[in-house]
Amino acid sequence: MNRVTVNGKTYNVPNGSISVVNDKVYVDGKLITEECEAKKVKIVIEGNVTGSIKLESGEITVNGDCHDVHNVNGDIKITGDVSGDVSTTNGDVSCRGLCGNASTINGDIRGKGIKTTDVSRLKYGVVDKILDKILG
């Protein structure tokens, strides 16, 4: 059982997929909140997530490991490892380790566990900055 905090309100939820669609929060396809009061959603998850996390706009923080995380507008912060992919269009991505792809168009990708062999999996964002640090 994970604790998920959405805009300051905490829910105990089973370990599964989390989505925010049209300002409503779903876990494994089941509605857990009605409309979020704020248009910019802030999600904090305490624990590991085996399913995927999807958000249209806002911040995602996972204090644990996760599989796939996708956000359109906002930052993604994962204190643990990502076993799948992580992406945001407009925002930064940070994680400890990465097994899949990481992508952002307008933002940075950071990770303590990202090695030079991971650079081929990074898309957009800071690939040039990382290559400059590695090669320069």
Please give the helix or strand (H or E) that residue 135 lies within, else none: helix 127-135
Per-residue pLDDT tens over the stretch 38-63: 567 888 988 898 888 888 888 999 99
Q: What are the extents of the domains in the chain?
A: 2-131
Per-residue pLDDT tens over the stretch 84-124: 888 998 999 999 888 888 888 888 888 865 544 444 445 44
Give the pairing type, strands 2-6 and 9-13.
antiparallel
Computed over its alpha carbons, how large is the radius of gyration of the chain?
15
pTM above 0.75, yes or no: no
Tokens of 135: 């090669």
Q: How many residues does the chain have?
A: 136
